[in-house]
Amino acid sequence: MLIWCLALLALCIAALPSSAASPTVLQAQNFKMAGDTSRMRLVVQFDREPDMRWFLLRDPHRMVIDMQEAAFGFDAGALEARGMVTGVRHGNLDQGNSRIIVSFDGPFEIERFDILQNEESEGFRLVADIVASSERAFEAAMAEQIESTGSTQTTRKADRLGQGGDPTADRFRIVIDPGHGGIDTGAKGVTGTQEKTITLAFALELKKMLEDTGRFDVFMTRDRDLFLRLDERVRIARQHEADLLISIHADAIRLKNVRGATVYTVSDKASDAEAAAKAMRENLADEIAGIDVEEDNQEVADILIDLIRRETQGFSLRFARSLVGELSSEIQMIKTNPHRFASFRVLRAPDVPSVLLELGYLSNEEDEAQLRDPEWRAKAAEGIAAAIKAFAQGRQDVGG
């Protein structure tokens, strides 16, 4: 199918007169995309205002952009797969119409699709922001578009996925993220315990405890010794439409006497120098595993920070406070400021309240011994479960 499409595309392109010879045709001059596996920005430059519309296709998940006849001057390298995008194709459909097809590696949402006049130069540009979403959200967007285009294949509203008929749709959903994994072992304890092993053991026990209440749907970013990029962890939380993400860690630092649990939330500005250093260590996970964090990512990271909704941030803070409260009665917290904040990449889902829980310090002998003790871990999990119950209750009471 793909080969057939490509062949057809090649034929269409070959049959066209060269772009230089037909200045009346829209010039699609430059294609750029940047981002990661949870968020992408596409920017396409045109010599004049393009007349565009877009729609979605599935299997695989695609965004199709239609416009008036265009001559494409894209650089082949710029179209190569990256982040969520698995491929970009473009060409002419029939007399007077052209198309760009962007394929993605999973369900997505088009957060922004704007045609803007260039400020500094001639011409116009398309700016599209795409974020990873759930299968349910993608299906809903597809159903919406079928309705708005007046197709006879309209699905009745009640038949749509996630609208009525799904008794689990309103259940509180939690994603537990065991820190590190695979080639990224995380911190190392005084007797050699690896952070990635402790976080996974703890996360599996916490999952079971939460599921046993019968009140929650619980998902894991990983359930085995597996490397995951930080943005993939964020994406998994968004795909499950999580109401809460808890990232579990157990750090090691040079000061051997520092011990106790700490709760972190995301913020551009760190609460203190230690929290800033901690975020820097955790954000290095991708580089440690040899993943190139593209230069482009910096720009996207800034956009990401801007997009963190105030509301989500409010919920994260509320949960963090409740977590500190409940945990204090079960386990030892760090002496000063048990709730801190810094710029953690794994906490940047714009619509999922997220906290990072440092269970204790593997660099401290007593903390390490406790982290290896299933009874101690059960007490810590109790504290978290109590905080989640209170938080979930509060959200359901306000209809959120």
Q: Which residues of this chain interact with Zn ion, rule CB under 5 A?
A: 179, 186, 249
**How far is Cα 354 from Cα 284, in angstroms, rounded to an integer?**
19
Measured from the CB atom, the residue of 63 and 220 that comes closer to Zn ion is 220
For Zn ion, give the closer residue by CB, 186 or 189.
Answer: 186
The nearest distance, CB 195 to Zn ion, in angstroms, is 5
Q: How far is the CB of 277 from Zn ion (least distance, A)?
A: 12
Q: How far is the CB of 179 from Zn ion (least distance, A)?
A: 4
Residue with tokens 């008794």: 167
The residue (of 91 and 179) whose beta carbon lies closer to Zn ion is: 179
Measured from the CB atom, the residue of 252 and 381 that comes closer to Zn ion is: 252
Specify the residue, 284 or 307, whose C-beta has the smaller distance to Zn ion: 284
Distance (Å, rounded) from C-alpha 202 to C-alpha 358? 12
Q: Least distance from C-beta 276 to Zn ion, angstroms? A: 15
**Closest residue by Cα to residue 84 from 300, 374, 358, 377:** 300
| Residues with Cβ within 8 Å of residue 299, at least 6 apart in sequence | 34
| Least spacing, CB of residue 20 vs Zn ion, in Å | 55
CB of 253 to Zn ion, least distance (A): 11
* Structural contact between residues 283 and 344, judged by C-beta atoms closer than 8 angstroms: yes
C-beta separation of 327 from 380 below 8 A: yes
Instruction: Tell me whether residue 231 or residue 241 sits nearer to Zn ion (CB atom).
Output: 231
DSSP character string of 368-388: HHHHT-HHHHHHHHHHHHHHH
- What backbone phi and psi angles, to 5 degrees, belong to 100? -120, 130
Rounded-to-integer distance, Cα 223 and Cα 188, Å? 20
Q: Which residue number has the CB closest to Zn ion? A: 249
Return the ∠ at Cα 182 (arms to 244 and 194), rounded to 5°. Answer: 85
